[in-house]
Amino acid sequence: MKENLEIAVFGGGCFWCTEALFKSLKGIHTVTSGYAGGTAENATYEKVSGGNTDHAEVIKIEFDPDLISFGDLLAVFFNTHDPTTLNRQGADSGTQYRSVIFYASDAQKQEAEKLIEELTINKAYDNPIVTKIEPLTEFYPAEEYHKDYYERNKDAPYCEIVIAPKLEKLEKRFRELLKNA
């Protein structure tokens, strides 16, 4: 692994969606779906989806800051999910689908707080931003069958209806950040 890689952890709804989006960006070394922010140890999909662990579905991104900045990742994060809906993204509802940034450094925390403040001042959204900013403590990787879900299931209805339109939006809005740009 390269020595200068940094980590970012975001929860923006279903991790199948966020994984597919962030994997398509340049400078991304790995994207791992998983769980963070809860009280239960050894989080599993069954436990988290039951709503009893306080964990969120998240992605852990290892990225090269020389190729893509944390600010770029934040911009993609805020433009590819709804940061104004509490514990919901589309039809997915529950605390596991909350909008959250788990910061890995004080610099990340400050940058996320500053962006939320700017978005609020500029009234970027009709409703208040509910995205939480919390320290990254534990991260539990998701089960293997969640890995590369979109790539393996592009024809599945959820992928066609929910993930594909997000990828189209990403391509239009952030073309310069894509691997194949």
pLDDT at 93: 93
Output the pTM of the full model: 0.95
pLDDT at 105: 97
Q: What is the pLDDT of residues 25-39, one digit of tens each?
A: 999 999 999 999 998
| Parent domain of 161 | 6-177
Confidence of residue 2 (pLDDT cuts 50, 70, 90): low
pLDDT at 162: 93
Long-range contacts of 168-176 (CB under 8 A, 24+ apart): 169/79, 169/80, 170/21, 170/24, 170/76, 170/79, 170/80, 173/79, 174/25, 174/72, 174/75, 174/76, 174/79
Instruction: Report d(CA 21, CA 89) in Å as an integer.
Output: 15
Q: What is the pLDDT of residues 54-107, one digit of tens each?
A: 999 999 999 999 999 999 999 999 999 999 999 999 889 999 999 999 999 999
pLDDT at 103: 98
pLDDT at 181: 66
Q: What are phi and psi of 8, to 5 degrees?
A: -135, 140
Q: Is residue 121 part of a domain?
A: yes
| Counted domains in the chain | 1
Computed over every residue of the chain, the mean pLDDT equals 94
Higher pLDDT, 174 or 90: 174
Q: Is residue 1 part of a domain?
A: no
pLDDT at 50: 84
CATH classification of the domain holding 85: 3.30.1060.10
Query: Would you please indicate which residues are annotated as catalytic (active-site) residues?
Result: 14
Q: Is residue 122 part of a domain?
A: yes
pLDDT at position 1 over 70: no
